[in-house]
Amino acid sequence: MIRTQLPALQVVIPLLAGPTCLLLHHSRLSWGLATSASWVALFISLALLDQVLATGPISYELGGWAAPWGIEYRIDEINAFVLLIISGISAITISFARTSIEHEVHSKHVYLVYTGWMLCLTGLLGIAITGDVFNVFVFLEISSLSSYLLISLSRDQRALTAAFRYLVMGTIGATFILIGIALLYMMTGTLNMSDLAARIPSVSDTRTVKIAFAFLTAGIGLKAAVFPMHFWLPNAYAYAPSAISALFAGTATKVAIYLLLRFFFTIYGVEFSFETMKLDRILLPMALAGIFVASTVAIFQTDIKRMLGYSSIAQIGYIVLGVSLVSVTGVTAAILHLFNHALMKAALFVALGCVFFRVGSVTRDDLAGIGYTMPWTMGAFVLGGLSLVGIPLTVGFISKWYLIVAALEQQMWWLAGLVLISSLLALVYVWRVIEIAYFGTPGDRSTEIKEAPATLLIPTWILIIANIYFGIDTSLTVGVAERAAQALLGNAS
Amino acid sequence: MQVFGLYNYWVVIILMMIGLYVVIASGNLIKKIVGLNIFQTSVFILYISIGKLDRGTAPILVEGVTSYSNPLPHVLILTAIVVGVATTALGLALAVRIYGAYGSIEEDEIQKQDNAS
Amino acid sequence: MLSLLTVTALAVARLDQLFAAVMLFGIYSLLSAALFVVMDAVDVAFTEAAVGAGISIILMLGALALTSREQRPVPRSRHWIALVVVVVTGAGLIYGTLDIPLYADPNAPAHLHVAPRYLQQSMQEIGIPNVVTSVLASYRGYDTLGETVVIFTAAVGVIGRLGVATEGRIEPKTGGLEHYLILRITAKFMLPLILVFALYVQFHGDFGPGGGFQAGVIFASAFILYGLVFGMENVTAVAPPVVVRSLAAIGVLIYAGVGVVSLLMGSNFLDYNILGHEPTHGQHLGIFLVEFGVGVTVAASMISLFYAYASYQREK
């Protein structure tokens, strides 16, 4: 019985936990509840993935109304995987969050952080699981509003402006999505994703459907911070509390990318997206520009969190690059990188959270000599950084490998070369941190700095070990990503 | 006829664009929020226009009436209005806090202070 | 009507006086509410009037009172950028409309697929005349749960940012208007009427326009009026901030709770059929409870917003 109800529970458990955290009105209790809810969500998503891999896509009718009249949850390989990424990152980062949040957020707001966290998780999971486009909009707004709040709760006053800017950009993006949905509804009369997919081909030569496509792509692209629609991201990541940056880096943009995949492949179909609209010709240059511009800008950042923000934009570029190749290997690389990038970025932000906890700053100059005073933290940072660069035996290598194979499959030698060159840029910005941490001259305060407490280090190292584990044993990730890519591309035929 | 049938939509599009223009062109944070509201309200009008039916009436079932306007866009927009006011409330609260921290709600002034610090 | 809207929108865009711009937006919102009535969307009109012209304006004026009233001119280059973006987007949209079904065309796909079932079947399946309520609370009840969560999130956000004193008492910043006799008597006379009207809207949503959301807003407006006229001290004595905030959470839990109960009884989440001895009875009960949850959350969230704005003191 409980098995058939898992799709509903996946979202409803954090949804119930959110308001309950507010009612508890107690920092530690709220944290305890939110953490348990996150872990339960992780186990549910594992069970769902298992079920999907064993028996194929799951459909769940909310309210007992059949689609397209009611709202349907539809889980196949790709969103089961995305659900796993979101709930996994949330579960690990929230375990780390308690010490870090108590340090970085005003004590009377701590329970609100967990309320917001649960709401954000509800929103993200809701977007990933649903099979109804308007339901996507509603849950997108839940996750967005709670992220504006979470960013602004930081003690840094610049977080306020970052949150405000994100709010304005996010709302424009959401309204664009709303316009796109309206145009699609006009032409098809339905909001259900599979129903849309069935009805779009008969109207696919109308200008309306094409413009709807453009608006949806732009709106979701804004949310995903696809270059050149990324302006809100670096400050939002830089000034948010560390645990929140880790959560967002691992989940928020990933969900938006998933939505793009959903619209491109499932709803519109490969033929429309890439043959009628020639989307790959726009995506490819955008992805490359994103990778090179953002990586270069990252090199010149003095605030390390901001640097990682720019690096995220570049990494989103790799994902888009994989999509733009429109082959099973390319899309596999994109989906793999969704997972792998979530792991490495979360690990890096969590490690920076440890630094911030002891040093009170993550500016480059303040990190001088920290490699010796906080060996475990910086060790984790170095490993995470190597993963970001794409050194063998880390997850970063796996993503790059599949990307390069995909490029070579299509005889695009130059593209494979560019991917390699761009990795050198990543090496440069990661090296600049390592350089100052191990070879910089320590400041006066450095003797007071101690290693971060175990409550922070353990989750950091869990993430780092995951980075290495999934870099060696790729059977789970590559297997699922490949099946998901085949399912996405298979819909066209 | 073609032109007249689309006229409504075109005006709505102009309204949306005025809203979007205000959002982008204003440096004042509260004015931006007002712009967002105009933008969103205009999109609501777009949706409700989709639902309208010739000789239709409000979708409340009554004996003897057979032609009703489409209720689905109405439902969607009820939801969207609530989402809109929620965003407005949060955005304004942030603007108030920004004024508390910077003494200004002009974007360039805030930028200047951030660069100075 | 549409041309009036255009004029108003243009005026908002041109004005530097923020106060006037906000007021004009109120007019814009009321005009669009009137337009919604013309287009047969009575429920939407009701909500737009209550929210756009009511709550949004109160919030904007509150924010203006706490910040500054004039905007400074911005560099010309910015106008050009905005203009380019707007012209490109607008042209794209107009291009997109060239193939859409004409306005009010009964043969548009939107009227032929999905929607007819609501109009034809909802009487047997749900048994209430207002189709908008049927779709809102049952067919697409899950969206409405999401919507309730959104408004709750906003309330949490505003409380978090502007912070209501957690101790439960708010420092009176400005005294109420209690020394105005006429105002006081009118308010006393109005308050019960507003509350009764709110209850009517809450429970009459099955038959006419209305429902939990509109009722919640009206209910909250009674408290806001009370607060404005008799001062914050009095209104927080009647409804302490902590209680109000908790109610906002409880409303969401009521709504989701209905879903959990249906789930525990062996049916899908938010399937009301199982709640009663026969399906339509279950639907009635489910919709009633769910609308009640919405009403509680909305009213409590709105009052919380008002408290937050009224009690905010600038940090020095």
Domain CATH for B7 = 1.10.287.3510
Extract the tokens encoding A271: 């033929």
Give the number of other Cβ atoms within 10 Å of residue A209's Cβ.
24
Extract the tokens encoding C251: 């409303």
Domain termination residue (choose one: C100, C116, C148):
C100
Residue ranges in chain C modelled with pLDDT below 50: 165-173, 175, 315-316
CB contact under 8 A, B1 and C118: no
Q: Are C95 and A204 in contact (CB under 8 A)?
A: no
Q: Is the CB of B91 inside 8 Å of chain A's CB atoms?
A: yes
Residue ranges in chain A modelled with pLDDT below 70: 1, 444-447, 491-493
Confirm whether B70 is domain-assigned.
yes
User: Which residue in chain A is spatially nearest to C159 when comparing CA positions?
Assistant: A112
- Bond from prior residue into A19 cis (ω within 30 degrees of 0): no
Q: With b meaning 16 or more CB within 10 Å and e meaning fewer, what string describes C274-306?
A: bbeeebbebbbebbbbbbbbbbbbbbbbbbbbb
* Domain count along chain B: 1
What values do phi and psi take at A216, rounded to 5? -65, -45
Tell me the Cα Rg of chain A. Answer: 21
Residues C315 and C176 in one domain: yes
Q: Within chain C, where are the H helices?
A: 2-14, 18-38, 42-50, 57-66, 76-97, 109-112, 115-125, 131-134, 141-162, 181-204, 212-230, 232-238, 241-264, 279-311
Residues C96 and C148 in one domain: no
Confirm whether C95 is domain-assigned.
yes
Extract the tokens encoding A138: 């509603």
* Domain count along chain C: 2
**Residue recorded with tokens 């995305």:** A82
Compute the count of residue pairs across chains A and C with CB atoms less than 8 Å apart: 171
**Residue recorded with tokens 């990424």:** A85
Closest CA to A185 of C39, B48, B8, B20: B48
DSSP letter for A268, please. S
Residues A261 and A459: their CA atoms lie apart, in Å, by 31
CB contact under 8 A, A12 and C146: no
Q: A132 forms bridges with which residues in the sheet?
A: A192
What values do phi and psi take at B28, rounded to 5? -90, 130
Q: Is the CB of A182 inside 8 Å of chain B's CB atoms?
A: yes
Nearest chain A Cα distance for residue B62, angstroms: 22
Residues C128 and C105: their CA atoms lie apart, in Å, by 27
Confirm whether C269 is domain-assigned.
yes
Q: A130 forms bridges with which residues in the sheet?
A: A73
CB contact under 8 A, C256 and A12: yes
Among C residues 242-261, those touching chain A with beta carbons less than 8 Å apart: 242, 245-246, 248-250, 252-253, 256, 259-260
**Geometric angle at alpha carbon A109, from A127 and A142, rounded to 5°:** 15
Start-to-end C-alpha separation, chain C:
47
pLDDT at res. A292:
93
Confirm whether C108 is domain-assigned.
no
Cβ-defined contacts of A213-217 (< 8 Å, 24+)? A213/A180, A213/A263, A213/A268, A213/A272, A213/A273, A213/A277, A214/A180, A214/C92, A215/A176, A215/A177, A215/A179, A215/A180, A215/A183, A215/C92, A215/C93, A216/A176, A216/A177, A216/A180, A216/A181, A216/A263, A217/A260, A217/A263, A217/A279
Among C residues 297-316, those touching chain B with beta carbons less than 8 Å apart: 298, 305, 308-309, 312, 314-315
Residues C243 and C152 in one domain: yes
Residue pLDDT, tens place only, B42-78? 999 988 888 887 777 777 777 777 778 888 999 999 8
A216's enclosing H/E stretch is: helix A207-224
Of A60, A69, A119, the CB nearest to C114: A69
Give the number of other Cβ atoms within 10 Å of residue C97's Cβ.
20
Q: Measured between beta carbons, which residues in chain B are less than 8 angstroms from residue A171?
A: 36, 40, 87, 91
Residues C154 and C292 in one domain: yes
Residues C176 and C32 in one domain: no
Residues C17 and C162 in one domain: no
pLDDT at res. C63:
86
Q: Could you list the residue range(s) of the whole structural domain that residue B94 is in?
A: 2-56+66-116
DSSP letter for A453, please. P
Residues C220 and C271 in one domain: yes
Q: Is the CB of C10 inside 8 Å of chain B's CB atoms?
A: yes
Residue B5 pLDDT grade (very low, low, confident, very high; cuts 50, 70, 90): low
Q: Could you list the residue range(s) of the whole structural domain that residue C297 is in?
A: 130-316
Q: Is the CB of A152 inside 8 Å of chain B's CB atoms?
A: yes
Q: Are A489 and A332 in contact (CB under 8 A)?
A: no
- Bond from prior residue into A228 cis (ω within 30 degrees of 0): yes
pLDDT at res. A164:
93
Of A164, A171, A179, the CB nearest to B29: A164
Residues C89 and C138 in one domain: no
Q: Which CA distances in Å does C302 have to A420, C124, C237, C239, C245?
A: 54, 36, 17, 13, 10
Confirm whether C110 is domain-assigned.
no
Q: Are A129 and C177 in contact (CB under 8 A)?
A: no
Residues A96 and A243: their CA atoms lie apart, in Å, by 7
**Residue recorded with tokens 């209720």:** B71
What's the complex ipTM?
Answer: 0.93
CB contact under 8 A, C132 and B61: no
Average pLDDT over residues B26-30: 87
Inter-helix orientation angle A413-439/A395-409, to 10°: 160
Residues A290 and B27: their CA atoms lie apart, in Å, by 27
Residues C93 and C20 in one domain: yes
At C277, the amino acid letter reads H
Residues C163 and C299 in one domain: yes
CB contact under 8 A, A164 and B101: no
pLDDT at res. A446:
64
Q: Measured between beta carbons, which residues in chain C are less than 8 angstroms from residue B41?
A: 28-29, 32, 48, 52
Confirm whether B61 is domain-assigned.
no
Handedness of CA B8, B10, B11, B15 (dihedral sign): positive
Residues C45 and C185 in one domain: no
Q: Measured between beta carbons, which residues in chain C are less than 8 angstroms from residue B30?
A: 18, 22, 60, 63-64, 67, 71
**Geometric angle at alpha carbon A218, from A312 and B72, rounded to 5°:** 125
In a mutagenesis test of the A interface, which of B33, B49, B83, B109 is the best target, namely the one with the most A β-carbons within 10 Å? B83
pLDDT at res. C288:
87
Q: Measured between beta carbons, which residues in chain A are less than 8 angstroms from residue C86?
A: none
Q: Are A173 and A223 in contact (CB under 8 A)?
A: yes
Q: Is the CB of B40 inside 8 Å of chain A's CB atoms?
A: yes
Extract the tokens encoding A140: 């997108």
Q: Which domain CATH number covers C47?
A: 1.20.120.1200
Q: CB-based burial of residue C243 (10 Å sphere; 0-12 exposed, 13-18 middle, 19+ buried)? A: middle
